[in-house]
Amino acid sequence: MQYALKRQEMNAPQNRLLACKLVYRLIDCNAKEDALKEFIFNAPDEAVLYCDEISLYNIFHTDSNDFDSLGKAALVFSHFPIYHTYSQQYIKNYLAAIKAYYNKNKDDRGHHTQPSTTGIINIAEAMLRLGELEKAISWICGWNPRKVETKHVYQIFIKLLQYDYYELYEPLLSKKWGSPNKLAIVCAYISLGKEPPKIYIDYLLKLFKRMSKIPENRFSNGQLLLFSEYLMHFRNKRDTVTNLLDKFSVEIKFSSLPSMYDKSEKVKFANALRYCALNHICKEGDISPINFWESKENSNHSQSEDKKKSMTKMVDFLLPIYLFRLTVSVIYYPHFK
């Protein structure tokens, strides 16, 4: 039900009654005294669409200094001119908390509250709503390592495009972005089934054509793979993709089975499968599942063989799915016609 309420279609007038029914149904399913407050607090983007200003103030106003509460409060109050002063104060508190957090040694930071990508994006959107465009760009691009900023740029555009906040993302598109961030913006459009800005596509094609090697410390492998898939599937640029694949690499060998509970391991394994699928289709090379496994030195032979068999089964099952993604008819993606 929460995922349904997050869909853009729920904003349509004909779906308002359905949205209200889903809200109350979700409250019934969560039989706690503070169910409504908890539900609204965990969905700030939807709360500003359906809740009145007084209710939002009562729920999101906070004296806490934890990152989650400050980020949500800054975002929600930025939607309402009468609360802009509050939003500005929460942003200041968030920035002060960030500075204090990173000034501590890692062992002293604690784990009960720490900055998250969602919180960082909430603060960036709040800045944009307050008219602080340059400050918002500096905020999302001022992180180390530098490749982290591509994740932030990707996420802010995903959110603004998803909710169709035209007045916020259009000014961002007019600003000067570095090459890795232009790729991140293009990938945000692709991920949502929207046609990326042509000027960005043309720029990236010329850039990658000139490069002999794409620096892995600046460009995201996941975004390079998504851009390659888009070029091949919707732009019919197989030769371009073939050339592009020779300029970056993805680790495909694993010495342990990827955990399905660890997001980074899942992404790494998925990227390996995507990379191999692209290479197979563009270069017509054979793929052997056994190539995904690399035994550790001094590892137990019996256990290693069992894990190798498990890895082979996983690749045998998943790789055809990734190949199908690249060959399925364009008719299923009407936005790219």
pLDDT band of 123, cuts 50, 70, 90: very high
What residues have CB less than 8 Å from 143, skipping those under 6 apart? 149, 152
Tokens of 22: 């889903």
Section 170-175 average pLDDT: 95
Cα–Cα distance for residue pair 219/91, rounded to 1 Å: 29
Q: What is the pLDDT of residue 330?
A: 39
Q: What is the pLDDT of residue 28?
A: 65
Please state the pTM of the whole predicted model. 0.84
Burial annotation 256-293 (CB, 10 A radius, 16+ → b, else e): eebeeeeeeeeebbebbbbbbbbbbbbeeeebebeebb
Give the CA dihedral 282, 286, 288, 293, nearest 10 degrees. Answer: -50
Tens-place pLDDT, residues 202-240: 999 999 999 999 999 999 999 999 999 999 887 778 899
Instruction: Give the type of residue at 91.
Output: I
Kindly report the backbone phi and psi dihedral angles of residue 115, in degrees, each rounded to the nearest multiple of 5, phi listed first.
-65, 140
Task: Specify the residue for token string 């939002």.
Answer: 56
Radius of gyration of the chain (CA): 23
Tens-place pLDDT, residues 293-304: 887 776 677 777
Cα–Cα distance for residue pair 231/239, rounded to 1 Å: 10
Cα–Cα distance for residue pair 239/316, rounded to 1 Å: 27
Coil, strand, or helix at residue 305? helix
- Nearest one of 268, 228, 274 to 251, comparing CA atoms: 268
Q: List strand residue ranges (DSSP E) for 197-308, in order.
A: none
Residue 289 · residue 315 · CB < 8 Å: yes
Answer yes or no: is pLDDT of 24 > 90. no
Burial class (CB in 10 A: 0-12, 13-18, 19+), 297: exposed
Query: DSSP letters along 46-74, please?
Result: HHHHHS-HHHHHHHH------HHHHHHHH
Domain ranges in the chain?
1-49, 250-337
Tens-place pLDDT, residues 29-54: 665 556 677 878 889 998 898 888 99
Tokens of 49: 């669409």
Cα–Cα distance for residue pair 147/141, rounded to 1 Å: 9
Tens-place pLDDT, residues 79-93: 999 999 999 999 999
Cα–Cα distance for residue pair 277/232, rounded to 1 Å: 12
Tens-place pLDDT, residues 259-296: 878 888 999 999 999 999 999 888 877 788 888 888 77
Q: Please, what is the end-to-end C-alpha distance for the chain in angstroms?
A: 31
